[in-house]
Structures are given as C-alpha cells and as structure tokens.
Amino acid sequence: MNAQQLKNSILQMAVQGKLVPQDPNDEPASVLLERIRKEKEQLIKEGKIKKEKNPSYIFRGADNTPYEKIGNAEPVSITDEIPFDIPDSWEWTRLNNICNVVSARRVHQSDWKTEGVPFYRAREIGKLAEYGSVDNELFISEELYTEFSRSGVPKPGDLMVTAVGTLGKTYIVKENDRFYYKDASVLCFENIGEMLPEFLKMVMQSPFLKNQIKTSSAGTTVGTITIVNASSFLIPVPPFQEQNRIIRKLEAISPYLLKYENAEERIDSLNNGFPEQLKKSILQLAVQGKLVPQDPSDEPASILLERIRAEKERLIKDGKIKRDKNESIIFRRDNSHYEKLNKVEHCIDEEIPFEIPDSWCWARLGTISTYASTKSKINASKADKSIWGLDLEDIEKGGRLLVKKTVGERKAIGDKTCFSKGDILYSKLRPYLLKVLIADDDGICTPEIVPFSIYGSIVPKYIVNYLKSPYVDSTINAVTYGIKMPRAGTETMTSLLVPIPPVNEQYRIVQAIEDIFPYCDKL
C-alpha cells in the first residue's frame, strides 16, 4: 500500500464512522441538522441566501433504510444511492443542506489590478489548499471589493473549492483572509451552520466524495463542478463532538503519514534511480579497467599511441593538419606519471584521477582527437536539403537519438557545423545531459554540438562511453561557464585525461557495456 492509498483508506474510515469510537453522550447529528435547518430558514428570511425551490430532506424510514423527500413530492427510497452504512448517531444529507453553494460575481479582465484586494483563480486556491499560502499576481480594487461585499464575499469558516482543472481542492477561509475569487472556476461553500470546516474539508478529500465529483463531471469536455452538482453531493454527518474527535485523530496521524510518504518517496527515488546509477557504476568500472579482464597477449596501449603520433606527423607533413605547439605526451617513469609539453617534462601524479592497468596509458583528448580543430561551417540555406539536419532537441539525455530529420524537413536557418559519418557528436551545452553519440550519416548540426574524430584505431564507441562516465561528468561540470545555460569550454575538453586501453580490450569493454545495459533498462 502506497502513501496515497493509506491516506485514502484512513479518510474513508473517517467518513464511515470507523476511525474513532462513538460516544452515546454525544448529541446526535439529527439535532445538529435540525439547528442548521432553522439557521438556514432565518438566513432566507433575512434575504441573505436564496430559498430553494425543491429542498431535500433525508431521513430513516420505518424499515430503517434511507428515504429522501424533495420539495412536495412523496419520499422515495435512496438505498441504492447510499454507498455504505454509517453509525446510528450519524445522518445523511445533501451538501446544500449544510452549506450554501455559491459562485462569485463576474470580474472582467479589465478589472484586474496589480495591487489591491487579492483575486484568486482555481490555481491560487489550489496552492492555498496545498501550501497554506500563495504568491498572487492578480488583484481587484478596494471599491470593487466593497461593492461585491454587499452580495457576499468569503467569510472565515467558508470552504473555497476548485471547480475546474484539478477538482475539489479545498481551502478553509481563515479569520484574517480578505480576497475575492473567479466565478465558475472556484465555488464557495458558505458554512451556514455548526459544521466543523475541517471535517467538511476532510470529506472533500475522501475517496467517497472524489468519486461523486468524478461521476458528476463525467462526459464533459473539461472537468468541472457546477453549483447544481455540488449542492446535491451526499454528505455523512456525525455529531459535532465526533467531528472534533475525527479531526484530532487525523491531526495525530498526520506526522506518521508524512513519514510514510517521505519514506516511500526515498524508496521510489532509489528504485527509479537504481538503473541509471548502475549504468554509471558500470561505465566507471569500464574506464578504470575493472569491467573486463586484461589479456597479456593484447598489444599495449603505448604502441597504439606511438602509431597515432606517427600518423599525426604524416598528416602534418602532408599539410592536412597543423602541428600542435602544446602536443602532450604522457608516460610512466619511476612509478610516477609525467607529461612532456614543448620538450619540458613535469610530474602529473596529482592530476591522475585513478589507477589503470599496466597495459593502459593516459592521454589528453586533444592529443588523440580533432576536438580542437576548426570545424567546417555552412549556412543552412545553402546546404543540401536532403542531408541530415541535427538539433539538440533530437538527442535524448544519455545520447539516444530521438528523431532524424533532413535540413529541408527542419527548415533550418543560420550557420551550421558540418559533420561526417563516424564522427563523435558531443553537445557542449549543458554537458550534464550527456548528449553524445556517433554520427551514422553525413549532416549539419547546431554550433552547440561539436563533431570530432579519433586518430588511429581507437574505438569511437569506447570514447563515447568514456565521455558518459561519472569521472568525465563530474570533471566537466565543475568547470563549465555560464549560469543558465552552462557550456563546456574547448580547453576543458581537450585537456581531459583519457584512460586508453589496448584496442582489443576497448572492443571487449564496448561489447560488455552493450550486453549489460539492456538488463539495466529492464530494471
């Protein structure tokens, strides 16, 4: 049983007279209702409320079953309408017999002000009902409020009920409250008798009453509570003293319900977050060399990096890339890590985030990739309309491609970055969303997406998994710039330390991740 089900069960017990014991010394509800009827007749006589054309009166017949007399009509049995038995000291009644259900006078938008008397719509009443306070932005003038006061404004003990949107949210008007409300979207249940408003609010929150609200608004385009429907709601009425006992009991139970709800939320959070946390753990194990076993027959990563350096020298010689004045070479010596930059060596042990296997090597992302290279640009209006046009919104958090549209379908405008099939596409905007994937086709993309390729035989999917690892996530997000729309700087990315396994082990890591992640998703 979840927290809401437990709360509903308790509220249902309360409205059925099963939450607290009955006291034979209590004045029966029939006497209370008789006083309310007399009070209502007096208010009608004084012209404060309107007289009903066909008032309802519910009573127990000689056969001890409920009957209802409406206006001058003969009483009819309503046994089929009564959903459950109530104690002998309780009575059934219609809501309009204990409350005067009214709406507000029309307030035109031209009457809205930026100061004055607060003017509440359903959304504000809903927040008041839930939190007890609301940041209001609409008001009416003192003059208009004074005019409306002549026909009635909310008074302490009245119930304000949302009648559109989320139906039935109930706020009890407090002693110092002074406001007006929107017609039709909010109803006021004027508490004309001695009913405890906290009990009435509790009834409104119960599954029993919510079901009446749902039934009465069924078939309408937009769910609403009308005055007519609200007036006919069936209400179980306990003796006044028992109303007090019920509310005190609910107040005593409330802290325990809150603890139960908080515990449930924590459990749900753990359950919902577990698959993602498990994936993160797997990725972290992968980049630390702990996901798959090492094979001593694998060619070590140091030889792979030597080949990459040779490859880059050839490209420089051919004029295809420029020499990096700050080319990084990381190596081990005397059981420490050193980096050679501009022929100068220095120890970087303090930078190394974790240990890696002996067959692995560290390298900078800028050394093994084209991340920092100048990207080809094209104006979308001049691009081939049949090629892929990639936008940030096309990529789901975590890197899954949601939709693939052509430039023509997207009606793209402005300068775009060109990318090629096989490029890694990395979103430098809000990097914590981990929007990184491998292009399966040529295309153009928003400048916030950085396309880059990897030198040598390094497996691109391994680099993608590395960029999604908790190590990279925490490292990058600690140094992003921009508050509302944080970005990862080019220097931040190119200086990232990348743990490089032997190529064969890269393939084994990628395969292990692809084998395991579907099981994580099933969790």
Estimate the crossing angle of helix 470-477 against helix 240-287, to 10 degrees: 100
Give pLDDT, residue 220: 65
Average pLDDT over residues 37-57: 87
Whether the predicted pLDDT of 162 surpasses 90: yes
Average pLDDT over residues 451-462: 96
Whether the predicted pLDDT of 151 surpasses 90: no
Kindly list the distances between the CA atom of residue 119 and the CA atoms of 126, 139, 147, 172, 422, in Å, as whole numbers in the listed order: 13, 5, 14, 16, 59
pTM, entire model: 0.62
Whether the predicted pLDDT of 221 surpasses 70: no
Looking from the CA of 452 toward its CB, the CA atoms found within 13 Å total 25
Average pLDDT over residues 160-168: 92
Give pLDDT, residue 269: 80
* Among candidate residues 152, 58, 59, the one with its CA nearest the CA of residue 100: 152
Give pLDDT, residue 521: 81
Whether the predicted pLDDT of 177 surpasses 70: yes
Give pLDDT, residue 469: 95
Average pLDDT over residues 53-74: 88
Whether the predicted pLDDT of 194 surpasses 90: no
Give pLDDT, residue 1: 82
For 478-488, write each residue's pLDDT tens digit: 999 988 899 99
Percentage of the chain exceeding pLDDT 90? 79
For 289-343, write each residue's pLDDT tens digit: 999 999 999 999 999 999 999 999 999 999 888 888 788 999 999 889 999 988 8
What amino acid occupies position 377? K
Give pLDDT, residue 51: 85
Give pLDDT, residue 180: 96
Average pLDDT over residues 213-218: 83
Q: What mean pLDDT, rounded, does the chain reach?
A: 93
Estimate the crossing angle of helix 207-216 against helix 3-15, to 10 degrees: 90
For 228-272, write each residue's pLDDT tens digit: 999 999 999 999 999 999 999 999 999 999 999 899 888 888 777
Give pLDDT, residue 440: 96
Give pLDDT, residue 62: 87
Of the two residues 446 and 193, the one the predictor is more confident about is: 446
Confidence of residue 49 (pLDDT cuts 50, 70, 90): confident
Average pLDDT over residues 282-287: 96
Confidence of residue 273 (pLDDT cuts 50, 70, 90): confident
CB 438 within 8 A of CB 461: yes
Average pLDDT over residues 493-510: 97
Question: What residues contact residue 357 under an 8 Å CB cut-off, 6+ apart?
Answer: 289, 294, 501
Give pLDDT, residue 54: 85
Whether the predicted pLDDT of 286 surpasses 80: yes
Of the two residues 349 and 273, the one the predictor is more confident about is: 349
Average pLDDT over residues 419-424: 97
DSSP state of 173: P
Give pLDDT, residue 219: 60
Give pLDDT, residue 218: 65
Give pLDDT, residue 345: 92
Give pLDDT, residue 163: 93
Whether the predicted pLDDT of 46 surpasses 90: no
Please name each of the domains of the chain with its CATH number: 3-262 (3.90.220.20)
> How would DSSP label each residue in 288-355?
TT-SS---TTSPPHHHHHHHHHHHHHHHHHTTSSPPPTT-EEEEEETTEEEEEETTEEEE-TTT--S-
